[in-house]
Chains A and B, each alone.
Chain A
Amino acid sequence: MFTIDQIRSYTDRFGVPSYVDDDGDLHLNFAADNDFPHNVDVVVLIDNDRLSYIAFPSDYHPDNLEYKVNRANMRRNFPTAVMSKGELRMEYSFYISEDVSEEYIYDTCVRRILGSIWNAFVEFDRDDIEEE
């Protein structure tokens, strides 16, 4: 249905630096900017019919994390904020066992979700965001 090479060919269109690790997982390196001044490593995994993203920000330690994780999940449709060992990460996965178009994979499962993950980090510590 989809492959890491296919996903990487899409992310290459955005000019995002990437590499494939020894396990065959794709790593995307998003550089810090003015909106979110921390680099973010996004790991892309494929397991049978599931395409998953796990995003790890570098050196980002917001206070009151458990409350803000819940708040982020309350006000955004995706991705899912998760606290693991006191660190924040964003996750989302697509289960696709039936036919979908290539455009769906590219536009929804890659382009939009990566944009959502970045925006989730940008908005994570802001108090002035309304629920979606």
Chain B
Amino acid sequence: MITYEIIKECLDILEVNYTDLTEENGGIAVCFFDKETFSHEIYTNIHVVNDELVSFISYADDYHPEGDLLAMANRHNYRSHSPRCYIDDDGDVIMHQAFVLAAEVSPNYILKDVIQATISLTMEAFSNFELDMEEFSSRFSNKD
């Protein structure tokens, strides 16, 4: 089971600021910025559906990489486990990760393997998005 309350408790533990938009069905909004890693703000919307599905949908503000975006998104998905990437109808690069949490899991699993990992990997995914295979390989020897 997963709820917005559990998500907010985890974000508090991780000391991540968020905006609660649940009353407007907007989920929970989080903004990340780490100039050293990626020079655009990353906005993540966290949605919970039926107390069992949680999804993280992220985009980077004013981020318009040049090149064949569909090929770049596929390249990302080919070499990275998560989050998955797609190009939306507006041509924006979207990072998306979803989890089904219907069966019992520990609080630490939600905190570390779901929320903390997704936040960290999303930042990394945007940071690596434009790296070609050679550049990526030199940074990582395996999918992470």
Bound pair (A, B): yes
Interface residues of A (CB under 8 A from B): 50, 52, 66-67, 69-70, 73-74, 77-78, 80-84, 91, 93, 95-101, 103-104, 106-108, 112
By beta carbon, the residue of chain B nearest A49 is: B113
The A-contacting residues of B in range 63-112, CB under 8 angstroms, are: 70-71, 73-74, 77-78, 81-82, 84-88, 94, 96, 98, 100-106, 108-109, 111-112
Docked pose: A107 CA to B78 CA in angstroms: 26
Interface SS of chain A: mixed
Complex Cα distance, B104 from A50, in Å, reads 18
Number of interface residues of B (CB under 8 A): 31
Please tell me if the beta carbons of B81 and A52 are within 8 angstroms of each other in the complex.
yes
Interface residue ranges, B against A (CB under 8 Å)? 53, 55, 70-71, 73-74, 77-78, 81-82, 84-88, 94, 96, 98, 100-106, 108-109, 111-113, 117
- Asked whether A80 lies within 8 Å of B84 as measured between CB atoms, the reply is yes
Chain B contact residues: helix, strand, loop or mixed: mixed
Minimum Cβ distance to chain A for residue B78 (Å): 5
Given A73-B77, A78-B98, A108-B100, A100-B53 contact (CB < 8 Å): no
